[in-house]
Structure 1
Amino acid sequence: MLKAIDPALNADVLYALRAMGHGDDVIICDTNFPADSVARQTVLGKLLRIDNVTAARATRAVLSVMPLDSFVEHPALRMEIVGKPNEIPPVQAEVQAEVDKAEGRSWPMGSIERFAFYDLARKAYCVIVTGERRFYGCFAFKKGVIPPDAA
């Protein structure tokens, strides 16, 4: 255990989040997502895990150490429900609440069609699979910057 580090963040996830640069994407996905095969195509090239937690809990852990990109309109994206792109299931509402809490303001997620999400995930820095079993618990987060300390 480390002080001020969310205990859900394991060494592999912390390494990847630290290694990412401004504009890199991290994917947080549910157990039904083809995480291993997609992760093999990412920059990191291997699947990361935050087991036994929901997508919202994993999001809280990741956003406790990673800023979102304020240079883009939607630094957080949710996978759209096939045939119902505007519907927000509970799993996505819970993740939205974690995004808002981490950023200290309402910052609505954008949405992305299922197969476009797969394409984005393959180009991401890394994929983190969670223990989320509800459908459409898949999200992309674009890393932002931490400003320098004031002099």
Structure 2
Amino acid sequence: MLKGISSILSPELLKILMEMGHGDELVIGDGNFPAAAYARRLVRLDGHGVPQILEAILQLYPLDKYADNVIMMEVPATDPVETPIWETYRKIALEDPHFKGFVFEERFAFYERAKKAYAIIATGESAIYANIIIKKGVV
């Protein structure tokens, strides 16, 4: 255990966060996201929800101030689902001064982007369309 670092962040995830460079992207996928199929590097945090993981990561991880830095999976127009979790994400991301607001990508474009991400975190999040990509900046 270390002081000041959330215990939700595993040693494996901390190593990955340290390895990542400016512009690298990290996917935090909900429980339905095909993380194992797409990941170059996979971290499993199945017992946790995306908001808790996002909050812990953003305590250490700077968002990219030069580019879109928080990318969300767009809900198809044919799906009437509500996404209240997005407001939770917004409140968490607003703590970073470089947060530029959400950018939405169509579902299959999001999957293609996820395949190129530095790493994917698989979570136990039960909310749908709760997938998020964050782009790393500099300290």
- The normalised TM-score by structure 1 is 0.85
What residue is the counterpart of 2:41 in the other structure? 46
The answer to whether the 8 A contact 2:63-2:98 is kept is no
Give secondary structure in 2 for the equivalent of 1:52.
coil
The answer to whether the 8 A contact 2:29-2:120 is kept is yes
1:84-143: CA deviation from partner (whole Å, max 9, x where unpaired)? 69x871111111111112x15763111111001000000000000111011001000000
What residue is the counterpart of 1:114 in the other structure? 107
Q: Identify unmatched segments of 5+ residues in structure 1.
A: 40-44, 147-151
RMSD over aligned CA atoms reads 1.9
Give secondary structure in 2 for the equivalent of 1:6.
coil
Q: Identify unmatched segments of 5+ residues in structure 2.
A: none
**How does 1:23-38 map onto structure 2 within 5 Å?**
23-38=23-38
What residue is the counterpart of 1:2 in the other structure? 2
Alignment identity in percent?
36
- The normalised TM-score by structure 2 is 0.92
Q: Number of paired residues?
A: 138
CA–CA distance in structure 2, aligned partners of residues 84 and 27 of structure 1:
25
Instruction: Say yes or no: does 1:66 pair with 2:61.
Output: yes
**How does 1:123-138 map onto structure 2 within 5 Å?**
123-138=116-131
**Inter-CA distance 125–106: structure 2 relative to 1 (3 Å threshold):** closer
Q: Structure 2 residue aligned with 1:89, among 66, 83, 89?
A: 83
